[in-house]
Amino acid sequence: MDYAEYGRPGGKRVSPQEFIQLASPKFRERGILPYCAACGEPVDPYGVHTPGGATRFDHANRPEDANPLDDCILADRNPRFKGMHPSSFDSEHGQQLREKFFDLENLKRTYCFMWKLCGAKNFPIRSLVKTLERADKKRIWSYSGIPLWTIPYILLTLDNFTHNKGFGFHFFIQKKKSSYLDDLWSGQSNNNLCKVFTDSGQLIEKSSSQNPMPITEDNFIKLSSDNDWVEQRYMEIVLQCR
């Protein structure tokens, strides 16, 4: 991770070298720490005492029993999240977007979209709740410039699902892994949502026009507009996350 936030979550964005210049090599004794912009946890500067060497911020080691899907986007330890980091964060935008997301109509659209892509009986309401909890931890709402229609695509990548035929599956976003997630809404490149078997990583229903499916606003609208069937009691469960 190239940058962290100085002294507190939401603090000044600094490189490892800038952090040491401001906090001094005795930053721990002084109680001044760098924090990850995504998860808000303290991170460690690495390589700052090696002239000309590579520098970065590292997250603390993950507990052995931790779910990899709960890992920070910026920790860069889970192949599922390669290329999923934003160019920057915007807390004010994130607060407004999250508030808008929880409007009833937007919730129904999201549930309908995710339900259709997972397939009937394969998307229990608890899966939507789980993905929203992870979205909060990863500060996905605060990705600079992220529009509302991209959120359901990202939510689908944040959980593992079980098909009614017994096999596991999940989704990942197919894009240039070296680029920022901003590619999804910038219109500068083509990106796809892929649905794969968890055990093999192979595409499910490869011949289907929805797999891989281009990540576009038009596709989201097409698959989420017919949502009158979504029951109010499901949305009330989701609203408890608010």
Digit-by-digit pLDDT tens for the chain (242 residues) are 899 999 999 999 999 999 999 999 999 999 999 999 999 999 999 988 777 778 999 999 988 899 999 999 999 888 888 889 999 999 999 999 999 999 999 999 999 999 999 988 899 999 999 999 999 999 999 999 999 999 999 999 999 999 999 999 999 999 887 789 999 998 777 899 999 999 998 999 765 667 899 999 999 999 999 999 998 888 888 888 77
Pick the closest to residue 187 from 222, 228, 215, 152 (CA basis).
215
Pick the closest to residue 193 from 111, 104, 116, 106 (CA basis).
116
Amino acid symbol at 22:
L
* Contact status, residue 96 vs residue 142, Cβ threshold 8 Å: no
Q: Is 69 helix (H, G, I), strand (E, B) or coil?
A: helix
Give the residue extent of every domain in the chain: 4-60, 91-239
Question: What does pTM read for this prediction?
Answer: 0.91
Phi, psi values for residue 48, rounded to 5°: -75, -15
